[in-house]
Chains A and B, each alone.
Chain A
Amino acid sequence: QVKLQQSGAELVKPGASVKLSCKTSGYTFSTSYMSWFKQIPGQSIEWIGMIYAGDGGTGYNQKFKGKATLTVDTSSSTAYMDLSSLTTEDSAVYFCARGAGDYWGQGVMVTVSS
């Protein structure tokens, strides 16, 4: 069955960067898209962007350009998202999802605090 396993919770300092991972199984990763989403607890969800694992081509929500960088490693069927120059406004749960969102990872809480 399709599974997306995300890395564990992160506590990072303002100004730092963090790299989140999303390891997949149960489907052909190399010919699929992966989306990333942000959800501040108690609020709705935002789409960050999408990457095509076949060629690494990306599309970003303008709001997250310069903040998020999406990459993939097809040899390990894993997708990554780098978040840079973190501020308290980046504290949220981040999800990966196949395609535009049929199967989702469990989410990872990123807390930005000094």
Chain B
Amino acid sequence: DVVLTQTPVAQPVTLGDQASISCRSSQSLVHSNGNTYLEWYLQKPGQSPQLLIYKVSNRFSGVPDRFIGSGSGSDFTLKISRVEPEDLGVYYCFQATHDPYTFGAGTKLELK
């Protein structure tokens, strides 16, 4: 199975700061059709995950432009500029290129 390694495990931030989360895959996430199915989710306590970014860098409907996904191959990053209170929670990267689909272990974005 594809292993997604997220760093850091926890990211303490001050509101208004920028935050950056890394997701590295044990193998390339480029599908045979040329697409890269790497997504980012935010899960707030007691809630379902919510899709933020799909196919590496595409913001899902309604997601603010302070969320920026980038990367290629097996190395990906989510940047959040100007962190706001509603951005706090656990971020997961997820790959849907290889069967079985897999998630990273999560990165907790929390206040300093």
Contact of A100 among B37, B48, B60, B104 (CB under 8 A): B37
Q: From residue A103, how far is it (CB to closest CB) to chain B in Å?
A: 8
Give the distance to chain A from B88, nearest Cβ to Cβ, in Å.
17
- In the assembled complex, A52 has its CB within 8 A of some CB on chain B: no
B101 touches A63 (CB 8 A): no
Number of inter-chain CB pairs below 8 Å: 46
Cβ-defined contact, B48 with A107, below 8 A:
yes
Question: Which residues 94-114 of A have a CB within 8 angstroms of B?
Answer: 95, 97, 100-107
Residues of A within 8 A of B96 (CB): 100-101
Instruction: Please report whether the interface of chain B is mostly helix, strand, loop or mixed according to DSSP.
Output: loop
Q: With A44-B92, A44-B105, A100-B37 in contact, is A106–B99 under 8 Å at CB?
A: no
In the bound complex, do residue A44 and residue B60 qualify as a contact, i.e. CB atoms below 8 Å apart? no
Q: Are B100 and A101 closer than 8 Å at their CB atoms?
A: no
Residues of B within 8 A of A (CB): 37, 39, 41, 48-51, 54, 60, 92, 94, 96, 99-106
A residues near B (Cβ < 8 Å) are: 35, 44-47, 59, 61-63, 95, 97, 100-107
